[in-house]
Structure 1
Amino acid sequence: MGFLRGLAALALVALIGFGMFLWLTAPGKLARDTRQALQAAEADVGRGERIFLAAGCASCHAAPDAEGEDRLVLAGGMRFPSEFGTFVAPNISPAPEGIGGWSTEDLALALTRGVSPEGQHYYPAFPYTAYIRMLPGDIADLKAYMDTLPASDVPSQPHEVGFPFNIRRALGGWKWMFLGDDWVIEDAPEEGRYLVEALGHCGECHTPRNLLGATIRSAWLGGAPNPDGQGTVPDISPGGLDWSEADIAYYLESGFTPDFDSVGGHMAFIVDNYAKLPAEDRAAVAAYLKALPTID
């Protein structure tokens, strides 16, 4: 009898543990006020283009060899190597193979909670850890603009991620530990903070990560190893970027540094986007970067 009682106790503990796992890792949902704000929003396609550029959607979701206007065909396929595996950007064009059947609420769920319309967790290679701070009205504008872009029937490619990182449900636990909508720098200039910490998701590349792949806030924008193992992503905190606000704004417009070096790599896509934005957006990013506290 004692043996059977022991087995029953172990089974009960296992059942409770499994229930806790399911509870902690359940996909998040949109808050009621967010849904209401999305439903009340009057989408502005022109504003949506500005959000699209600032958020760098084409920088990751255009085909790897796309140039010029072809970069607006968000067919996906760009590969992003990491120590957890290689992630492949999906098709997010307004086609059945992309997100053509999505509602604005579906897009908001993906951007701010990292959850698909089917309730599956997305990997944080998709920077919802930054987009979680996006305003509902901006999401509505973005969706309206993306619906005007060319459709592509190219199917999305699967990620190349092995065990145990291919267990999507476990990402719910990762989100429980690391996903939050609080600002990294509370007292920074608001316009620049929104562009850098939310739309531009600059910290996703320029901030080092811990062993579980979450950004280390105490080293915010302090530079990081390049995920593909080749070189480093530069330190753009005040301790690593000795440029004036004018220098930073000009770099985002022209791609040229104060030493007349030119932008390269993936950053070239970012500069191409920011060059098309109003000058006040580039100035706001520069003001934010210069207002950051020095990393200890």
Structure 2
Amino acid sequence: MKQRLAIIVAMVAGFAGTGAYITFLAPHRQPAALWDGLKAGNTENGRRLFFAGGCASCHAAPDAKGEARLVLTGGLALKTPFGTFHVPNISPDDTAGIGNWTLAEFGDAVTRGIGRHGENLYPAFPYASYSRMTPQDVADLFAYLKTLPKSSHVAPPHELPFPFNQRWLLTGWKFLYLNDKPRVMLASSDPLVLKGQYLVEGPGHCGECHTPRDAFGGLKTDEWLAGGPNPEGEGRIPDITPGSKAIGGWSKEDIVNYLQTGFTPDFDSVGGSMVEVQQNMAELPKADLEAIAAYLKAIPAK
């Protein structure tokens, strides 16, 4: 009898602990007032953010070219040490995509990693970076996505082994790694550098590849942009801090030219997964590229 009672007490304590864990550690939805009163979405700025965020690189069909990259049909398989993630459809289709989502639902997904039905989203979707986006920029991006072609394609479910298929565990991951604080403290208060910080640390999510990760998949921010293993498992992503072998000797103008044209100062060309990133960056105004270059020259060297 005592043994049975002890088991019941342990089970109750376990359920209570799990409930407290989910309730108190989980990031809650943004306040509804955050999205109320925003200006109507500016699709021109939304297009800029679309390319800064590289949305097509993941959400367009694999190997899509030209205008087909604007059909955000999903389906790309992202292979990681935690399993394979299948990128969803975010076209404005009402059923397969986000056509009947509200701005608040979209904003919670982008900045809090919370799905439409309250579920935790996996950080293969880089909301840990997008959390730094301003509400108006999120609204502008949402407005632009609504102008793109619809697709009825439905991506297959993720292929994740236990325990990574347990979304509730992401509550703890978010507690450790999800915030909207700057990734690095800068000595410069130059508005151009701060603009670059926003683009790189926020919508550009450059650190998601260029910063090494710990055993739980969180970014090692003390090694910010210092390079590391490719998160998709093949090769290594270079260090892009000042003083690095990759771009440490480049001038700001060299960085801008590379992002515009894909050519390095010694006339080598962009390669690997950076090809699509550079193509996206080339769509940005030159002033944005200059801000990114200024930031990359201002961050601490590793």
- TM-score, normalised by the number of residues in structure 1: 0.94
Distance 2:5 2:212 in 1: 49
Q: Which residue of 2 aligns with 1:84?
A: 82
Distance 1:85 1:58 in 2: 22
Distance 1:145 1:5 in 2: 59
Over the residues paired in the alignment, what is the CA RMSD in angstroms? 1.7
Q: Which residue of 1 aligns with 2:97?
A: 98
Give CA-to-partner distance per residue, 1:145-166, whole Å, 9 cap, x none.
1111000111122111111100
Distance 1:12 1:43 in 2: 48
Q: Which residue of 2 aligns with 1:201?
A: 205
Q: Which residue of 1 aligns with 2:20?
A: 20
2:59 aligned residue (58, 61, 70)? 61
1:257 aligned residue (264, 267, 277)? 264
The answer on whether the counterparts of 1:56 and 1:273 sit within 8 Å (CA) in structure 2 is: yes
1:47-58 map, 5 Å? 47-58=45-56
Distance 2:221 2:64 in 1: 34
Distance 1:231 1:11, change over 3 A: closer
Q: Which residue of 1 aligns with 2:255?
A: 248
Instruction: Supply the AA of the counterpart residue of 1:78.
Output: L
Give CA-to-partner distance per residue, 1:235-264, whole Å, 9 cap, x none.
101131221111111000000111211112
Q: Which residue of 1 aligns with 2:109?
A: 110
1:166-185 map, 5 Å? 166-185=165-184
1:1-296 map, 5 Å? 3=3, 6-7=6-7, 9-24=9-24, 26=26, 28-36=28-36, 39-95=37-93, 96-187=95-186, 189-240=193-244, 241-242=247-248, 243-295=250-302
Superposition deviation, residue 8 in structure 1: 5.3
Instruction: Supply the AA of the counterpart residue of 1:193.
Output: Q
The answer on whether the counterparts of 2:70 and 2:149 sit within 8 Å (CA) in structure 1 is: yes
Superposition deviation, residue 42 in structure 1: 2.3
Deviating beyond 3 angstroms after TM superposition, the runs of 4 or more aligned structure 1 residues are: 1-9, 24-27
Secondary structure of the equivalent of 1:40?
Answer: coil
Give CA-to-partner distance per residue, 1:206-236, whole Å, 9 cap, x none.
0000000000000000001112332101110
Distance 1:25 1:67 in 2: 42
Superposition deviation, residue 50 in structure 1: 0.9
% identical aligned pairs: 48
Distance 1:116 1:19 in 2: 19
**Which shifted more, 71-80 or 126-135?**
71-80
Unmatched 5+ stretches in structure 2:
none
Superposition deviation, residue 7 in structure 1: 4.4
Unmatched 5+ stretches in structure 1:
none
Superposition deviation, residue 70 in structure 1: 0.5
Distance 1:25 1:157 in 2: 30
**Which shifted more, 188-197 or 131-140?**
188-197
Report the count of equivalent residues. Answer: 293
Distance 1:247 1:173, change over 3 A: same
Give CA-to-partner distance per residue, 1:153-211, whole Å, 9 cap, x none.
11122111111100011111110111111011233521000110001000000000000
Instruction: Supply the AA of the counterpart residue of 1:289.
Output: L
The answer on whether the counterparts of 1:27 and 1:120 sit within 8 Å (CA) in structure 2 is: no
Distance 1:134 1:250 in 2: 26
Superposition deviation, residue 266 in structure 1: 2.2
The answer on whether the counterparts of 2:27 and 2:175 sit within 8 Å (CA) in structure 1 is: no
The answer on whether the counterparts of 1:254 and 1:275 sit within 8 Å (CA) in structure 2 is: yes
Distance 2:72 2:3 in 1: 60
Superposition deviation, residue 274 in structure 1: 1.4
Superposition deviation, residue 89 in structure 1: 1.2
Superposition deviation, residue 81 in structure 1: 1.1
Distance 1:8 1:120, change over 3 A: closer
Secondary structure of the equivalent of 1:101?
Answer: coil
Superposition deviation, residue 121 in structure 1: 0.9
The answer on whether the counterparts of 1:24 and 1:173 sit within 8 Å (CA) in structure 2 is: no
Instruction: Supply the AA of the counterpart residue of 1:68.
Output: G
Secondary structure of the equivalent of 1:199?
Answer: coil
Distance 2:234 2:69 in 1: 25
- TM-score, normalised by the number of residues in structure 2: 0.92
Distance 2:97 2:5 in 1: 53
Give CA-to-partner distance per residue, 1:96-149, whole Å, 9 cap, x none.
201111111111011000111111111000000000010111111111111110
Give CA-to-partner distance per residue, 1:4-51, whole Å, 9 cap, x none.
664454344324323223324545211355233xx4322211111111
